[in-house]
Structure 1
Amino acid sequence: MLLHSSITRFSRITITTLRFTTPLRHRSKMAQQPPWQEPHQGTPSKLVLYNSLTKTKTPFRPIDPEGKKVTWYSCGPTTYDYSHLGHARNYVSNDILRRIMKDYFGFQVQYVQNVTDIDDKIILRARSQHLLSEFKTQHPQVTADTLATTLKAFHAYAEKNLPLLAPELKPEDFNSESAVKYASVLAGKSLDGTGLPGDKEAKIKMHIQVLAKAATALLAPKKGSEEDAANFHEDAADVLMPYLDSLHGSSISSSDHGIFSALAKKYEILFDEDMEALNVLPPDVTTRVSEYVPQVVSFTEEIVRKGFGYATDTGVYFDIAAFEKVEGNHYARLEPWNKHDSSLIADGEGSLSTKSGKRSEGDFALWKASRVGEPAWESSFMQGRPGWHIECSVMASETLGEQIDIHSGGIDLCFPHHDNELAQSEAYWSTGKQWINYFLHMGHLSIAGSKMSSSGRNFITIREALSNGDYTPRSLRIIFLMGGWHTGIQIEDDMKRAAAGFESYITNFFLRINDLEMHPNTKSTGSEDAQVLEALATAKSKVHDALADSFDTPTALRAIRSLIETWNRLSDDVNDDVSRQLGQYVTRMVRIFGLDKASPDDGDIGWTGAVVPEEGKEWIHAASRLRDEVRQRAIAKEPLSLETVNSLVSKDKPSKQQDAAAVPWAELLSKFQEELLLLAQQKAEAKAYLELCDELRDTHLWNAGVYLEDRTNAPAMVRPVDAELRAEREQKEAIAQQKAEAKQKREREEAEKKARLGEQAKISPKDMFKTEEYSAWDDDGVPTKDKEGIDVPKSKGKKLRKEWEKQKKLHEEHLKGVDGS
């Protein structure tokens, strides 16, 4: 088995409102499902789990007789596209539960996760991308043939996906026509204009965007260079791929597995990268269905041999009716109310499936006959490929055996996927035992009420969310911890702020605890030690009870925060060793939750963002101590003679040789010492020393990722530069920039005003009114008649005289300046 992580299987994954909440009319059906069978082996633990089989919290009893080993199978990804935040919700939450089981409760967890690398979606995506690549090779430039094919693809796409549009709609009419026909959807309403939008409307918007992009390419194609062709093909790709597949999909050889495996492997690698970025532990074992095809065939043969399956021309199907005839067998145990939901059944069978030959609509494919253009493997039934559900049953059974403790996945997988897994696996083993004892289903994720889906292309990929700064791996994990694992989470601004606040609160706690190493709490009397130790014991008890209560992480986080609040209130009177006990406990817990990459068993305190680089700690602390002493003397205006500065500098002298990683930090200290001595030699004023201290803090250390936080009546606290500090600095710099620009504007306006007044002062008051507006003036140049020869009204004349007197004074001052008198 390959030991690395895998990708996620969910086609309908996780960003919807919680479908688990069932209509009232289905509640009575839930009582009809068979009782959960508690495992007979194993020792019960204090841990209880919310089990989807029982819809209740159930005491956890491992199959292992000693109660130590836990087998766990997690549904992995279908590798045909980038993973999005819905996948993050599932896999990060799985990771949190797995870490708690392993690192807190001490279970020996064997964690297996699959990769679905044979699937209808993969087949269609890989085949159409391959055909598009061939089309690009055949059309290195945009020719008339290129445009003709693309126009046909445009019409085919519109006819299939936006049927309200006129047939053979011209690209130039697309925008206006779609705006009319789909006005309600574009306005954020349902298609009929009477309700809220849903999945259907999201897909309509996506189809409109695809066609709009293709229409733009068709209307103004650039035909000259290969770059022009590449841009055209990119804009038209989404209409070309399904069209080319409809024409040439059957030309792909069923034995050419490489076309399909290349796509799956590409997205598996990208998924692994995303999971590593989110600090998700890799599986102990990763299974891929393409590597288990012979086992799938054998598994299917055994089910048929026992009378629970049958073959048709289109494949081999599981016979639900035959399964339920056997006493004790029940189908759809997880979601019996969805047993006859035709849309979910069809979705579970895949877009390339057919109902032909099935005895019952609910019967599902174990083995699918491959049609032309689809990958195929030999079997005793027909050339074909595994069904979706059978792969997990086979790989879980092959790696973990006939009974498994835990099976996890997104809530969307309850029916039909996990219900089908249960039925076919218990039919295969026919032991009368329960195949899976505990089903753990992660709740949905919504972001500001908006559902994500790969099919609607309205999702946010994990790498987009991390790169654009919307989330960090830690902030996203805190959100999931605050929301719990099996209920739905809706991310809104309030929740993001709460997560950011919790992260900042923990970071500041770690900074203060670690600062005790450099600045012991000399004010401590130890008088409050007992109270703080009691708060620690209480917090440990509350956290334990919360985690034992089906991984209640929201309550656990509140208990940890409450502990820190108590310490913050009493810390001045608490012994440093007691404070460090708190720091060690909080560190261990946040690492168990996966909020830092370091091991929970490491002895240090803090997490990334609250600890300065170990290789630089000695030199950073020395520079901080020296700066504190110099700064304190400079503020007090105490003399800083060469002898005094030399005495301060000599306390910490970097050795001539350091480890390579420590050299930059030792050089930073040396440079600061040299600059202080130079100021002392120059007998500089206190201001120069303070400016040098600020430069060390704001430039040299900041650029190295370290900040000295000056405190009143206390030494500066050494801390790493984190996102919060950077945001604060950027905000301050932006405000300072605004003030500077406002000042420059005022100065510029004042200069312009002064220049205008200077020019105006040059004008003699006798000439200021000599314009076409007037026809007669008195001896001073004040107008007496307007341009029509009519006398200027008396009131206006008074106004003109005042203006004249003002100009006379201004002009006289100008003449004095010119004469120098």
Structure 2
Amino acid sequence: MATARQQPQWVRPESAPGVQLPPLRIYNSLTRQKNDFVPVDSKGKKVTWYACGPTVYDDSHLGHARNYISTDIIRRIMKDYFKFDVTFVMNITDVDDKIILRGREQHLFRQFTEKHTKLDDTVVSTAHAAFDHYMKKNLPLIPADTAPAEYLTEVTRAYSRVTAGRALEGDGPPGDHEAKIKMHIKTASSAAEALQLAKATGIVIPLDQFYAKSEDTLVKYLDSLYGMSIDASDHTVFTKLTKQFEHRFFEDMGALNMLYPDVLTRVTEFGPQIVDFVVKIVKNGFAYATTDGDVYFDIQAFENGGLPYARLEPWNRGNKALQADGEGALTAKSSKKRSEADFAVWKHSKPGEPSWPSPWGPGRPGWHIECSVMASETLGKTMDIHSGGIDLAFPHHDNELAQSEAYWSEPAHNCSKHGGSQWVNYFMHMGHLSIQGFKMSKSLKNFTTVREVLSRGDWTPRGLRVVFLLGGWKEGVEVTDELVKAGLAWEDKVQNFMLKAKDLDMSAIVTNGSSETNTEHKNDTLREKLTQAQKTMDEALCDSFNTPVAMRTISDLISEYNSLPPANLNRETVLDTARWVTKIVTIFGLDGIADPNDTSRIGWTGVEIPSPAQPYIYPLSHLRDEVRKQARSTDISYTNIKNLAVHTSPTTIKPTEESEPYAKAFTHFQDSVKSLAEEEAPAKDLLGLCDQLRDTHLWNLGIYLEDREPPLGAMIRPVDKQLVLARNEKEEREKSKLEAKVKREAEEAEKKRQADERAKVSHLDMFKTSGEYSVWDGEGLPLKDREGVEVSKAKGKKLRKDWERQKKLHEAWVKAQEGGGV
């Protein structure tokens, strides 16, 4: 008989004779080590994969993005690098305790706001009752009768340790408990502020703002009053919420360049199948029904049948907090369970909860059973991969595994041996995303949504994916300034390399295949580095999708390229390197919907200028390069410049509406060059024309020419965020310099004006206007002060020195006036 603590059992899949598989090893949560990957498919090509999808009651946050992007990266590697035929199934949880609660709350809040369209006494008194109700339930250290005006004072008194970033009790670090307290403090603070504004003399808060600040407390209170009285047979109470957020989820995932699932399942579409699944588990002797209509999984019977429970995280099987979270917020404690650890596979529906018919009465699925059923229905008795966030390992995935193997096993009374099959061969769990040490979570409300960060420009889809690629898929990711900088540095490095490679490729096309880069070498160093990088990349991806090493491999290869002088580079090797890098980053999902099988591509989105621009801008840039070269030479040939302008033409003869702005820029520059050449204008005018094309005409079209040292011509690139920031910073520096110069000149002019004003005063009169003296000699030097006291000898010497200085200044000023000076 198996024991609860036995070592997890895992049946090693064997490949069929003659099947050639890549040497891929995957870290498997079932064995807690890396295992050779062998698909169930006898031919070794088809791979079945079930991924736990979202519970759709709110917008997706960056924690979700971490899970789903990492999953998407591995899926793409399996499909496009290892060439497996992957069937990827994702579920949508559109009914569970959280959705029922949120759906009811939103339904009741909507009814309340539609009925109460003025900020009257009823609205305020209801909001006040909601505020009291919320504090009593969630902030018990604050007196229940605390007035909104006294709320912050009481928070400081009761929860100062938490608000100061410490644990509520003891010397340990703060955790999720403290994070939840902070969330509740913030929620109640918002409601208290609304109530104070509503009652303050002379202050009127708009109704929509009052509701916005009070909503999170109001919904809980309204649900406590009326939640069980709504007509839950009307499933639109809940589906209105889930359809909205399912749509928004896939909008967000599309924005993040996620591949859409091959198969999408929803819990509400599998009601009959879930009932049948539970019936069979009961029939097999691994579950039991209670008199109140609940059905519980029998862990003891399961283990008596030789089937170990909690194979993924056996150390958590006694964790009551996780068990309670797995049961859901609406599940009441039952004394009818045979064991406290037994979990619900079917729940009788209480008033205010949606229901489906079953042999045990109206009810709804337990949280874990839904995935067991949907995965089994779509993928069968055994699947290759099951994935999700690490927080799902226990109890969700452990319970899924137990239920499913109970379903596929022989009845418990024939339990002398394992009668079923291994339901999942490889469990993969993605690490958490955390900020300031805390897991990002909807329940903690410490999250930033995907659409927020994308709309604000905090992240780009590519930048976010780069950061996740730099970390291992199963390790946690802590968002730090260093990590953000590392991601930006990697992306910029690859971007610059692709720009150079794309420029090399396009320049050769524009100049009819000629290139200044050597094409023959006895020792092609870059080719050797490329070969080694390809080998290292293969080893990294075979090593459980080791993307940190893969990303470092790309970076190191580009560093090798950057370290080699242009004269030592083989053009074809550079282009082959760029094509390989392009292929890998495309496989990683860093380039939109680009096809990773297109081996001719170079670069990713953002490297190329628009297609309609290319026939005009590449020859235009080449002409500009030649004009600059001539203008910088010691012997300018205006005939050559004119001939260059005359014989340079676009690489297309079919202008379009989209290409018209670029055609105009081409013609304007061409005509201007001809005109200056005919005038034999000075070199500075030719160079100024080239700068104007770069800094104004093409910049305004979203194109930048990055000038380089000869013999290299300008590199053509789109104007991107970094270029705009760099230009803005340069303009700010120049503006600051100009402002400093103007200020300095103004100060100097003021000093000169004041000096001139002083110099205008004659030395003969300088002491007669101050009022300090009453008698002077013939030169205007003071003899007595205003009181009639004679000036001392020492004082007289000092006054004489001042008089002599002023005499020189005044005589110089007079002379300047006579000479026409200012």
Q: Settle same-fold status: TM greater than 0.5.
A: yes
**Structure 1 773/364 Cα, relative in aligned 2: closer, same or farther at 3 Å?**
farther
> Within the alignment, does 1:354 sit opposite 2:332 as a pair?
yes
Equivalent residue for 1:742?
Answer: 740
Secondary structure (helix, strand or coil) at the match of 1:661 reads: coil
**Structure 1 702/675 Cα, relative in aligned 2: closer, same or farther at 3 Å?**
same
**Structure 1 456/782 Cα, relative in aligned 2: closer, same or farther at 3 Å?**
farther
How far, CA to CA, are the matches of 1:804 and 1:134 in structure 2?
A: 92
Pairing 1:44-55 to 2, within 5 Å after superposition? 45-55=22-32
1:543-581 superposed Cα distances (whole Å, 9 cap, x missing partner) = 111111111122222233333333344453343223222
> Within the alignment, does 1:412 sit opposite 2:384 as a pair?
no
Q: 808-817 or 543-552, which moves further after superposition?
A: 808-817
1:61 aligned to which of 28, 35, 38: 38
Secondary structure (helix, strand or coil) at the match of 2:629 reads: helix
How far, CA to CA, are the matches of 2:119 and 2:525 in structure 1?
A: 78
**Structure 1 88/799 Cα, relative in aligned 2: closer, same or farther at 3 Å?**
farther
How far, CA to CA, are the matches of 1:406 and 1:321 in structure 2?
A: 27
How far, CA to CA, are the matches of 1:368 and 1:552 in structure 2?
A: 42
> Within the alignment, does 1:538 sit opposite 2:526 as a pair?
no
2:11 aligned to which of 23, 37, 42: 37
- Provide structure 1 residue ranges, at least 5 long, that are not aligned to the other structure: 1-28
Equivalent residue for 2:265?
Answer: 287
How far, CA to CA, are the matches of 1:354 and 1:793 in structure 2?
A: 105
Q: 670-679 or 147-156, which moves further after superposition?
A: 670-679
Equivalent residue for 1:685?
Answer: 682
How far, CA to CA, are the matches of 1:259 and 1:721 in structure 2?
A: 48
Equivalent residue for 1:12?
Answer: none
Give the superposition deviation at 1:523: 4.7
Letter in 1 for 2:582: T
Secondary structure (helix, strand or coil) at the match of 1:363 reads: coil
Equivalent residue for 1:434?
Answer: 422
Give the superposition deviation at 1:232: 1.3
> Within the alignment, does 1:78 sit opposite 2:66 as a pair?
no
How far, CA to CA, are the matches of 1:473 and 1:236 in structure 2?
A: 34
- Provide structure 2 residue ranges, at least 5 long, that are not aligned to the other structure: 410-418, 509-513
1:708 aligned to which of 705, 710, 722: 705
8 A Cα contact 2:767 2:780, kept in partner:
yes
Pairing 1:137-286 to 2, within 5 Å after superposition? 137-192=114-169, 194-221=171-198, 228-286=206-264
1:138-191 superposed Cα distances (whole Å, 9 cap, x missing partner) = 222212222222122122222222222222111111222212322222222222
8 A Cα contact 2:166 2:173, kept in partner:
yes
Secondary structure (helix, strand or coil) at the match of 2:50 reads: strand
1:258-315 superposed Cα distances (whole Å, 9 cap, x missing partner) = 1211111222222112211211111111111111112111111221222222223262
**Structure 1 276/682 Cα, relative in aligned 2: closer, same or farther at 3 Å?**
same
**Structure 1 41/559 Cα, relative in aligned 2: closer, same or farther at 3 Å?**
closer
How far, CA to CA, are the matches of 2:224 and 2:780 in structure 1?
A: 91
How far, CA to CA, are the matches of 1:811 and 1:301 in structure 2?
A: 114
Equivalent residue for 1:661?
Answer: 658
Equivalent residue for 2:595?
Answer: 599
Q: 805-814 or 30-39, which moves further after superposition?
A: 805-814
How far, CA to CA, are the matches of 1:181 and 1:797 in structure 2?
A: 77
8 A Cα contact 2:642 2:678, kept in partner:
no
**Structure 1 266/768 Cα, relative in aligned 2: closer, same or farther at 3 Å?**
farther
Give the superposition deviation at 1:668: 2.1
CA-based RMSD of the aligned residues comes to 2.8
Give the superposition deviation at 1:762: 5.5
8 A Cα contact 2:524 2:570, kept in partner:
no
**Structure 1 690/382 Cα, relative in aligned 2: closer, same or farther at 3 Å?**
same
**Structure 1 205/782 Cα, relative in aligned 2: closer, same or farther at 3 Å?**
farther
How far, CA to CA, are the matches of 1:225 and 1:722 in structure 2?
A: 47
Secondary structure (helix, strand or coil) at the match of 1:711 reads: coil
Equivalent residue for 2:568?
Answer: 573
Give the superposition deviation at 1:508: 2.1
How far, CA to CA, are the matches of 2:480 and 2:739 in structure 1?
A: 35
8 A Cα contact 1:126 1:263, kept in partner:
yes
Letter in 2 for 1:213: S
Q: 698-707 or 806-815, which moves further after superposition?
A: 806-815
Give the superposition deviation at 1:627: 0.4
8 A Cα contact 1:654 1:670, kept in partner:
no
Give the superposition deviation at 1:34: 3.2
8 A Cα contact 2:275 2:358, kept in partner:
yes
> Within the alignment, does 1:102 sit opposite 2:79 as a pair?
yes
1:300-354 superposed Cα distances (whole Å, 9 cap, x missing partner) = 1221222222223262221111211112x11101011100100000111111111
How far, CA to CA, are the matches of 1:132 and 1:788 in structure 2?
A: 89
Equivalent residue for 2:415?
Answer: none
1:664-703 superposed Cα distances (whole Å, 9 cap, x missing partner) = 3222212221232343455432212211111211222223
8 A Cα contact 1:709 1:718, kept in partner:
yes
Give the superposition deviation at 1:610: 2.3
**Structure 1 400/647 Cα, relative in aligned 2: closer, same or farther at 3 Å?**
same
Equivalent residue for 1:618?
Answer: 615
Equivalent residue for 2:548?
Answer: 554
How far, CA to CA, are the matches of 1:144 and 1:756 in structure 2?
A: 70
> Within the alignment, does 1:326 sit opposite 2:299 as a pair?
no
8 A Cα contact 1:443 1:488, kept in partner:
yes
2:443 aligned to which of 437, 455, 473: 455
Equivalent residue for 1:23?
Answer: none
Equivalent residue for 1:718?
Answer: 716
Letter in 1 for 2:103: A
Secondary structure (helix, strand or coil) at the match of 2:308 reads: coil
8 A Cα contact 1:51 1:440, kept in partner:
yes
Letter in 2 for 1:685: P
Task: State, as a whole percentage, how many aligned pairs show the same letter.
Answer: 52
> Within the alignment, does 1:367 sit opposite 2:362 as a pair?
no
How far, CA to CA, are the matches of 1:666 and 1:566 in structure 2?
A: 39
Q: 547-556 or 100-109, which moves further after superposition?
A: 547-556
1:403-424 superposed Cα distances (whole Å, 9 cap, x missing partner) = 1110001111100000000000
Equivalent residue for 1:674?
Answer: 671
1:478 aligned to which of 432, 454, 466: 466
Pairing 1:15-26 to 2, within 5 Å after superposition? none
How far, CA to CA, are the matches of 2:788 and 2:293 in structure 1?
A: 106
Question: Normalization by structure 1: what TM-score?
Answer: 0.90
Give the superposition deviation at 1:760: 4.8
How far, CA to CA, are the matches of 1:106 and 1:528 in structure 2?
A: 36
Q: 386-395 or 34-43, which moves further after superposition?
A: 34-43
8 A Cα contact 2:767 2:773, kept in partner:
no
Give the superposition deviation at 1:818: 6.8
Equivalent residue for 1:22?
Answer: none
Give the superposition deviation at 1:516: 2.2
Equivalent residue for 2:558?
Answer: 564
How far, CA to CA, are the matches of 2:282 and 2:188 in structure 1?
A: 47
Equivalent residue for 2:582?
Answer: 587
**Structure 1 809/80 Cα, relative in aligned 2: closer, same or farther at 3 Å?**
farther
Question: Normalization by structure 2: what TM-score?
Answer: 0.90
> Within the alignment, does 1:392 sit opposite 2:371 as a pair?
yes
8 A Cα contact 1:355 1:361, kept in partner:
no
1:788-810 superposed Cα distances (whole Å, 9 cap, x missing partner) = 87777766665555555555555
Equivalent residue for 1:13?
Answer: none
> Within the alignment, does 1:467 sit opposite 2:444 as a pair?
no
Pairing 1:745-756 to 2, within 5 Å after superposition? 745-756=743-754
8 A Cα contact 1:140 1:226, kept in partner:
no
8 A Cα contact 1:404 1:436, kept in partner:
yes
